[in-house]
Amino acid sequence: MKKDNHLLPNDLTQTGVSRRRFFGQSGSVVATFALGSLNTTTAVAAQPAPTDATTLNQFLKLSRFLTGHQNLDTTLGERLWTAFTQQSAGFSSQMDVLQNLIGQHKLPDVEALDTLIKGQPLHDVMMAVIRGWYLGVTDDSHHARVYAYQNALMYQVPRDGMVIPTYAHNGPDYWTSEPPPVDRLLTF
């Protein structure tokens, strides 16, 4: 029996098999080179260094003063601190200057600090920290990274009377809670 030269849907020619084998092997070689060329020191250096407890406590203390809220989420604070220090190398020193101004002038609240530094570059730093806690983002760009949504301070004040806006009908993270029990089965 003579075999046709054209391919049937379930039939492979020897050329087709070798071509597939070639592409499969070349794909493996490319993946090996791509993974092997990654420099592990670069990958480690790209990750932010962990924040020490003293620095984080200073940032949280300043944040409590600036926001007027005493119960701030420590994990969110660490994320915001990391984001601010990645965006600006001088953020740590600017935070220290703000804390020194508060201490030197014995300022009672953020409004007094606002009056003192209005029109200065430190005012922008102060507003960035407040914005970070209230909005959950650290910049105003179109591709801003969100660090807090459900725990953003803008939703904490009216939480007893306002539902956090979401497309998830049962609220953010609704899938983590147990579903309501089935009282009765649906009838069709």
Mean pLDDT across the stretch 134-161? 79
Mean pLDDT across the stretch 154-180? 68
Length of the chain: 188
98 residue type, one letter: L
- Say what the pLDDT of residue 80 is: 93
Residue 55 has pLDDT above 60, yes or no: yes
- Say what the pLDDT of residue 152 is: 82
146 — phi, psi (to 5°)? Answer: -90, 125
Packing angle of the helix pair 91-104, 74-87 (nearest 10 deg): 120
Position 141 confidence tier, pLDDT thresholds 50, 70, 90: confident
Predicted TM-score (pTM) of this structure: 0.60
Mean pLDDT across the stretch 5-14? 50
Mean pLDDT across the stretch 145-159? 77
Residue 41 has pLDDT above 70, yes or no: no
Percentage of the chain modeled with pLDDT above 70: 59
- Say what the pLDDT of residue 129 is: 94
Look over the chain and give the mean of its residue pLDDT values, rounded to a whole number.
Answer: 75
- Say what the pLDDT of residue 28 is: 52
Going 123 to 127 to 130 to 133, the CA torsion angle's sign is negative
* Lowest pLDDT segment from 51-60, 104-113, 160-169: 160-169
84 vs 157, residue with greater confidence = 84
Residue 57 has pLDDT above 90, yes or no: yes
Q: Which residues make Cβ contacts (< 8 Å) with residue 156, sequence separation at least 6? A: 69
Residue 97 has pLDDT above 80, yes or no: yes
**H-state helical runs in 69-167:** 74-87, 91-104, 110-117, 121-135
